[in-house]
Amino acid sequence: MTQIIKSTDLMTVVITTYNRPDALQLVLDGCFAQTDRNFEIVIADDGSGAPTRDMIEHMALRAPVPVTHVWQADEGFRAAASRNKGIARARGQYVIFLDGDCVPQRDFIARHRALAAPRTVVTGSRILLGQKLTEAALARRLPIYQLSAGFWWRQRAAGQINKLLPLFTRVPDIAQRRVKGFVWRGIKTCNLAAWRSDLEAINGFDETFTGWGHEDADLVVRLHNAGVARKNGFYATEVLHLWHPHEARDREKQNQDRVIARLAQGTTRAERGLHQAEHVLEPNQPADVIDTPSLVEQ
């Protein structure tokens, strides 16, 4: 397959979520407001309860793009398995990963499309929102993906965002985006894009990673070992990352050590990933899958 994304080609946005429907609603608002609408949404749900399902059902009724909701049982932090389910349901040849607490700006899809290149993964960037701003955004359902420069200047002055310039500056696909070798810094699957064929070649995310931490770096390490290049998506693809308490990180060191070992060993394939696991619906959960056609003619 020729790895070229045209303006009319469908891309897939896989959004991970877990029991935070108010944040996911803001993320979907941002997705529905995109300037580029040649994409579908697959919500990869790591075991959320009924409020999340009900919200998605409601939002899907007015979605301008196709929405699919795939659910797995709540058996602890299983982001890798959840994302693999999302990849398995994707129809696009290019997959953008987004977390359910990261609100995209209106040109997020367009910028990722512009940065897509053959055999290349794009690691995006984020702007961190403070607790006070996050609580106000959730309570009032603020359209933070399109607020004025004055609003953001005030938030920066109040210490409620960690950086301002990337909100208003767009840098084209310059040579400085290319990352030489493997660099740990900047790898976050809250904002990352890759070709589905490259993800399939390395067997997707490795579901043997348990607990929080570095299953995203493991993916990028194995892509690197397989010869996939990397670009930084800074000053182009920033998302607005809503504040939340830190996850328990008791497995972080063990997971990091595994990634370092795989880099040294040249590992490319996940031990348990797309091809070993059965990425299907959990039994008796038919209501937790929503498949909606686009309400807007492409």
Low-confidence spans in the chain with pLDDT less than 50: 280-288, 293-298
List pLDDT tens digits, range 167-184.
999 999 999 999 999 998
CATH topology of domain 11-276: Spore Coat Polysaccharide Biosynthesis Protein SpsA; Chain A (3.90.550)
**Residue 146: exposure state from Cβ atoms within 10 A (0-12, 13-18, ≥19):** exposed
108 Cβ contact partners less than 8 Å away, ≥ 6 residues apart:
30, 34, 237, 239
pLDDT of 294 reads 40
pLDDT of 251 reads 73
pLDDT of 230 reads 97
List pLDDT tens digits, range 72-86.
988 878 889 999 999
User: Could you state, in order of their start, the residue ranges of all structural domains in the chain?
Assistant: 11-276
Nearest to 135 by CA among 27, 24, 244: 244
The pTM score is 0.92
Q: In angstroms, rounded to a whole number, what is the distance separating the alpha carbons of residues 21 and 153?
A: 28
